[in-house]
Amino acid sequence: MEQAQDALHIQPPLWPQILIMEDEMSVAKGLELVLSEEGYTVDLAMNGRSALDSFDRRDFDLLIADLRLPDIDGMEVIKRVKHRRPDTGVIVITGYSTVPSAVEAMKLGATDYLSKPFTDDEFMSAVKGALDEQKVLHAGAAQAAVAKPAVTVLEPLPEDLQQVHDIMAQIRQQFSGTREELIPMLQKVQNHLGFIPEPALEEIAHFTRTPAASVYGVVTFYEQFRLHPVGRHIVKVCRGTACHVKGAERILNEIETRFGMSPGQTSDDRMFTLETVACFGSCAIAPVVVVDDSVKGRMDPSKTSEVMAAVEPADLDPNQS
């Protein structure tokens, strides 16, 4: 038991290093306290310049960034940090929870967005989410060496954005705009477009009279929602217990070597986006792969490749994109 207690307190280099960039001393100290109580190693920077200096001195796993700083714009700091060390996690906090800044931060690769005031719990869950995501990225980066290039984040196409207007018109007819309709509305947008474009999110926030930052909070919490466009076909590999026992990992490896994608990525021709799911409830015919809406049971690595290779020639539907 003692050994375990020790283990929980051995910190560097195992525990994530976090930098808090915040000009309000009381807020910065408060966050530092919460984080260090939870066992993280924390540094403080009171302005943008000293944050960049800190990054010059050493790497941090996570940057917690206030956007409004006395010297440099917080967004600029994020941009430079991401440029230097792309896999740094970023959580944005701000008193001005305007959608455009949230969107810009997300585009720069921020994992989450918190608007003041927020609770310790909300803060800790955002921190944890950001660190988890990073872990996935690390794992992906290690494997990317063998694969063809894949894209992690796609930019929306103009035609996607044109459709937002129509979808929102439908939504305004179908829903009354209460808070509990938030998730169903977001689902409707995603069903149509495959992702939730920023203008739609903004309009839904307005329609439900919910702060845009809370809508972001909901979107980032649920695994289902995507803020970026996806490939023409979505391939989901089940990672549930039954599928794991029956070799799901081998299927993922195959897709990785053949198509150059790790989970969350889109192939560079925008053909496929690869996702994993915790269980499709078809465990009796494991391992399971779902291509678009079609569930395929009893798969193996080579069958998966075949199915994926056969997707496009079979439905050369020019309207489908």
Partner 1 sequence: MSYSAIKAKAEKQWDWLENLPQPLIQLGMGTCGRASGADDIMRSVQQTLKELKLLARTMEVGCIGMCYLEPLMAVRKPGRPFIVYGNLTPDKTQKILKRYLMEDDPCAKWSVCSIGKDRIDGIPTFEEHPMLGAQVRIALRNCGLIDPGNIDHYIARRGYSGLQRALDMSPAEVIEEVKASGLRGRGGAGFPTGLKWEFARNSLKDTSTIVCNADEGDPGAFMDRALLEGDPHAVLEGMLIGAYAIGAAQGFIYVRAEYPLAIERLIKALADMHACGLLGDAVLNSKFRFDIQIKEGAGAFVCGEETALMASIMGRRGMPHARPPFPAQSGLWGKPTNINNVETFSNVSAILQNGASWYAGFGTEKSKGTKTFSLAGKVQRTGLIEVPMGMELREIIYSIGGGGPKGKQIKGVQTGGPSGGCIPAERFDLTVDYESLASVGSIMGSGGMVVMDQDTCMVDMARYFLTFTQAESCGKCLPCRLGTHQMLDILEDICAGNGTPADIDLLADLSETVQKGSLCGLGQTAPNPVQTTLRYFKDEYEDHVLRHKCNAGACKPLFHYEINEELCNGCGVCLRRCSTGAISGKKKEPHRIDSTKCTKCGICYQSCKQQAVAIL
Footprint of partner 1 (CB under 8 A): 1-5, 7-8, 14-15, 38-39, 121, 124-125, 127-129, 132, 178-184, 186-187, 208, 217-218, 221-225, 238-247, 250, 253-254, 257-258, 277-286, 288, 293, 295-298, 300-302, 305
CB proximity list for 99: less than 8 A, separation 6 or greater: 198, 201, 202, 205, 212
- Interaction between residue 40 and ligand FES (CB under 6 A): no
Site string for ligand FES, 247-286 (x = CB under 6 A): --------------------------------xxxxx--x
Centre a 10 Å sphere on the Cβ of residue 259 and count the other Cβ atoms it contains.
23
Q: What is the CA radius of gyration of the chain?
A: 21
Residue in 16, 48, 74, 240 binding ligand FES, rule: CB under 6 A: 240
- Interaction between residue 298 and ligand FES (CB under 6 A): no
Instruction: Say how far apart CA 76 and CA 108 lie, in whole Å.
Output: 10
To ligand FES, the closest distance from the beta carbon of 192 in angstroms equals 27
Q: Which is nearer to partner 1, 93 or 288 (CB)?
A: 288
- Interaction between residue 243 and ligand FES (CB under 6 A): yes
Residues facing 17 on adjacent strands: 41
Q: Which residue in the shown chain puts its C-beta closest to ligand FES?
A: 240
In contact, 51 and 45? CB cutoff 8 Å: yes
Judged by CB under 6 A, the stretch of 4-12, 51-59, 207-215, 238-246 that binds ligand FES is 238-246
Instruction: Say how far apart CA 44 and CA 28 lie, in whole Å.
Output: 7
Residue in 27, 183, 218, 242 binding ligand FES, rule: CB under 6 A: 242
Q: Which is nearer to ligand FES, 124 or 234 (CB)?
A: 234
User: Which ranges in 151-237 belong to alpha helices (H)?
Assistant: 158-174, 182-193, 198-207, 212-221
HSE-up (13 A, CA, CB side) for residue 257: 9
- Interaction between residue 72 and ligand FES (CB under 6 A): no
| Total residue count of the chain as it appears in this document | 321
Query: In whole angstroms, how far apart are CA 38 and each of 16, 32, 90?
Result: 11, 10, 19
Q: Which helix (DSSP H) or strand (DSSP E) does residue 291 occupy?
A: strand 289-291
To partner 1, the closest distance from the beta carbon of 31 in angstroms equals 15
To ligand FES, the closest distance from the beta carbon of 132 in angstroms equals 21
Q: Which helix (DSSP H) or strand (DSSP E) does residue 8 occupy?
A: helix 2-9
Q: Which is nearer to ligand FES, 167 or 238 (CB)?
A: 238
Q: Are strands 150-151 and 112-115 parallel, antiparallel or unpaired?
A: unpaired
- Interaction between residue 299 and ligand FES (CB under 6 A): no
To ligand FES, the closest distance from the beta carbon of 197 in angstroms equals 31
From ligand FES, partner 1, none, which one binds at residue 165 (CB under 5 to 8 Å depending on kind)? none
Judged by CB under 6 A, the stretch of 125-133, 174-182, 198-206, 236-244 that binds ligand FES is 236-244
- Whether the ω angle into residue 158 lies within 30 degrees of 0, i.e. cis, is no
- Interaction between residue 189 and ligand FES (CB under 6 A): no
- The edge-to-edge listing of strands for the beta sheet with 41-45 is 41-45, 17-21, 62-66, 89-94, 112-115
To ligand FES, the closest distance from the beta carbon of 297 in angstroms equals 9
Residues that bind ligand FES (CB under 6 A): 238, 240-243, 279-283, 286, 288
